[in-house]
Structure 1
């Protein structure tokens, strides 16, 4: 585990440079990112043209929906959100199931709209809304064991995979702007994405040294590993009891020129 953790750590500086320039646009006058959260709010709540309101799938507070398999968008990271919308629009990420509508929606929105929506949802008040694992299990979903997921998230597995902590921070609270928050993400979405990374149907992860980071990690995970870590992360509180710090994932937003 030390070797794989060290390898991931050595990638961080390189990935920072890649992620920071992905899907962003800077003002020629200031060098800062330009975004209009007010326009993003309108698109999120009301839609635009043929694109329906984002809240119809992601919830009025952008916290996601396990029944629909839709992810939490609130507070997960501006840069990551813009990149995903850009990748949907360019068909670099093509989801299956209900998520397949995202490609068409992203194409209908401009690059500026992408930035505006991302700025809006990333500036929403933080709310803790864990997935209801008991209800999901009753509904027939395979649900893992949170205590086993905690071990994987925090310590990884020696000789197999580094901890989620290595990149995504304590309890997956995010490492803005490099890595999105995955803590308190919806359980169904986490399971689906880890399986998609593993089977290669999702491949828009950062590539460093010829290695797709998330695909490489996911290929080491069994179904049980995925269920366990998703169970833990979907219900993990964002505050590290050791430092009391709550990451707001708005580092980039603080540098945005609001129009």
Structure 2
């Protein structure tokens, strides 16, 4: 009986947080200027270096730097991350430690402009080269185990990634970003950051709770699958369709 009540309470809390998340994301007007965003992305602005320096000219990220893919992740998500960086709610480590400064040098409108531009980038995927990563001495996971974790979760331990992020991590805009075909190194780093709470800028700490239940091997396995997960329309519309609404 107690277990049933506890599960019901958790379910209510989850749905409450999800609806709040939708309201928060939908509160970001899609009024970015992609043309100005492209100018900053490609050429920088004052002390802000060009975004493409680390994230690549197509916005697909740079594995060696741990720089994430930005292309077509969803307008509200990018606006939120840039705002969190600028206002100190997200403090990256490593090469990303420069991001709070860069984001703070952009106006709120310029952050929207960049988000609008990168959300139009729907080019040929530039996936992580897992063999190259492994040959460099970095561990990678077991892909089929990652697929099980992403699609089905682990009973009694952690829910499936697709529950929020959509099939194959295609994203569930406007709240949940695309995680499919994200850079492997970035995925691993962020899951570790969520787990050790050095990153905590998600509503209601949903990712902190989930990541706290993952082992190092779970993280490698999930990242291995997600980094190479095929784009799909299974289970609903393709995540790329949302980009048309922001152009």
Question: 1:216 maps to which residue?
Answer: 209
Distance apart, 1:140 and its partner CA: 1.1
Residue-pair matches, total? 240
Q: What is the distance in 2 between the residues matched to 1:46 and 1:178? A: 29
Corresponding residue SS for 2:88: coil
d(CA) in 2 for partners of 1:131, 1:51: 27
Write 1 or 2 for the structure with the bigger share of helix: 2
What is residue 86 of structure 1 aligned with on the other side? 83
> CA contact under 8 A between 2:167 and 2:235: conserved in structure 1?
no
TM-score (norm 2): 0.91
Q: Which runs of 4+ in 1 moved over 3 A?
A: 3-9, 242-245
Offset of residue 109 of structure 1: 0.6
Deviations 1:137-160 (A, max 9, x none): 001111001100000000000001
Q: Which has the higher contact order (CA 8 A, sep 6+)?
A: 1
**2:97 & 2:241 partners in 1: Cα distance?**
27
CA displacement 1:33-84 (0-9 Å, x = unmatched): 3211000000000000011100000001000111110000001111000000
Unaligned stretches of 5+ residues in structure 2: 1-6
TM-score normalized by the length of structure 1: 0.87
Residue 206 (structure 1) aligns with: 203
Q: Which residue of 1 aligns with 2:63?
A: 66
Instruction: State the Cα distance separating 1:238 from its structure 2 match.
Output: 1.4
Equivalence map 1:1-259=2 (5 Å): 6=11, 10=15, 11-21=17-27, 24=28, 26=29, 33-207=30-204, 212-240=205-233, 242=234, 245-248=237-240, 250=242, 254=245
User: Can you give the 5+ residue segments of structure 1 that lack an aligned partner in the other structure?
Assistant: 27-32
Q: Is the 8 A contact 2:58 2:123 kept in 1?
A: no
